[in-house]
Amino acid sequence: MSQAKLKRLWRWSGWVLTTSATVLMSIPAPAAELAIVPQARLRLTVLQWMPVEANFRQLDTFGGDLVVLPNGTISVPVIGQIAVVGKDTVTIGAEVAERIQSELGLIAPPEVSLDVIEYPPIYVVGAVSTPGQFPYIPGYTVLQALALGGGQLRPETQTGMDDEIRLQSELVDINNDIIRVLARTARLRAELDNQPEIAFPEEVISRRELAPIGEIMTQEQALFEARAGALERQTQSYDELIELLETEIAALEERITVLDEEIASLVTELERVSQLVATGNAVVSRRTDVERLISGARADRLDHLTAIMRSRQSISEAQRNQANLRDQMQTEVVQELLVQQSALEDLYLRRETTQHLLAELASTAPLANRSSLEPPALRFSIVRAGEDGMTETEADEFTALLPGDVLKVTLAPASFAVAVER
């Protein structure tokens, strides 16, 4: 092989080695398993292979849920205590398998599976909204723990701003409710006094250009006209019924007058026919026919009188219902007025209380100072148990937490000083 070929081969092999190293370095390493810590809950499963049955048999005597004791050990039935703190589950499982094989005199060690089902909780204390303990999930960072604690504790001034916004909103709602009740009361008084239109108070009229107030007045006016129209239609219906019944009575009375004249004529005819029958100049059947006509006329007269009585009774009932219609409406209006007056008094009291609270907020923390306040910076530290006892180290938002850690959240000194000064 020539020297030139050797040089080209050397350069090519160097490029391959460099590229391979680069590729290997770019592959991320798998995340290391968390070491076992005290108070962790483990689940131990032990299986023994049975060649005769060609199947695994679970050894329930050794398996089950275990808790790591404060001294860093777990207590497994039959084989006793095993130190587990600082080890991973694979190492602990292999040790448990060896101990079981030795204890039972097995030819081959059993299959042992050890899983962590619950880590000790983490604790979040200090300047957070809801301090306390929270379940730990591998991979938790300081920022995630801060979210579990409800986020940064807001200063009292920020709370005061929120209270002021809430009270201002409540005051607007209360004022709108007062206008609504005043407009409704004016409409009820117009109905009670049978007025042709609503006389709104000055407090309502002066704000009619505002969208909510103008809409309230329009609604009350529409309701007033609708109720007045309904009452008028019902009253007119009763008036028409009474007029119809009176016309019927007049017709019946006129018919009775005609019947009276007819009966009088028939009575005269009966007297004349009776004289003729007495002298033998007329047959008796002639007198009988006249008597029958008189009886029919008198029966018709009686029917007409009965119809007149029924019509007059219907008129009285219609007049009574017409009066009750107005009385019932008056009663409903009076009851509704009492309810609205009570509601108005309650609204005035609520408005006075809300205005008083707003005045107190304004006197303790002026809005100009509160609006310029920025959220204070936070400082994080982690208290962790180790071989030398409890240690506290500084941390940032992306520091990883371990099971059992205590995250302390405090205000940065400069921000705290500003908050206290304000």
Answer with the residue of higher pLDDT: 167 or 67: 67
Residue-wise pLDDT for 201-248, tens only, equals 888 888 777 777 888 888 888 888 888 888 888 888 889 999 999 999
Share of the chain above pLDDT 70, in %: 85
46: left (phi over 0), alpha (psi -120 to 50) or beta: beta
pLDDT of residue 284: 81
Superfamily of structural domain 41-118: wza like domain (3.30.1950.10)
Q: Which residue has the higher pLDDT, 233 or 387?
A: 233
pLDDT at 227: 86
Domain 123-155+373-421 has CATH 3.40.50: no
- Distant-in-sequence, close-in-space partners of 66: CB < 8 Å, separation ≥ 6: 41, 42, 43, 44, 74, 75, 76
What gap in Å lies between CA 189 and CA 192, rounded to an integer? 5
Domain boundaries, the chain: 1-29, 41-118, 123-155+373-421, 161-370
The confidence band for 21, taking pLDDT boundaries of 50, 70 and 90, is very low
- Distance, in Å, from the CA atom of 68 to the CA atom of 48, rounded to the nearest integer, reads 25
DSSP annotation string for 319-342: HHHHHHHHHHHHHHHHHHHHHHHH
How, if at all, do strands 80-83 and 122-126 pair?
A: unpaired
Helix (H) or strand (E) holding 409: strand 406-411
Write down the pTM of the prediction.
0.43
Query: Has residue 413 got a pLDDT over 70?
Result: no
Q: Helices 211-279 & 156-192, crossing angle to 10 degrees? A: 30
pLDDT at 364: 61
User: What type of residue is 382?
Assistant: I
Query: In whole numbers, what is the pLDDT of the chain averaged over residues?
Result: 81
- Span 310-330, average pLDDT: 88
Between CA 338 and CA 189 the distance in angstroms is 11
Output the pLDDT for position 382. Answer: 94
Q: Is 422 a residue whose pLDDT tops 60? A: no
Nearest of 115, 117, 123, 157 to residue 140 by alpha carbon: 123
Task: Please report the pLDDT score of residue 135 as a whole number.
Answer: 93
- The span from the CA of 230 to the CA of 325, in Å, is 11
Residue 369 has pLDDT above 60, yes or no: no
Helices (H) and strands (E) in the chain, counts: 9, 11
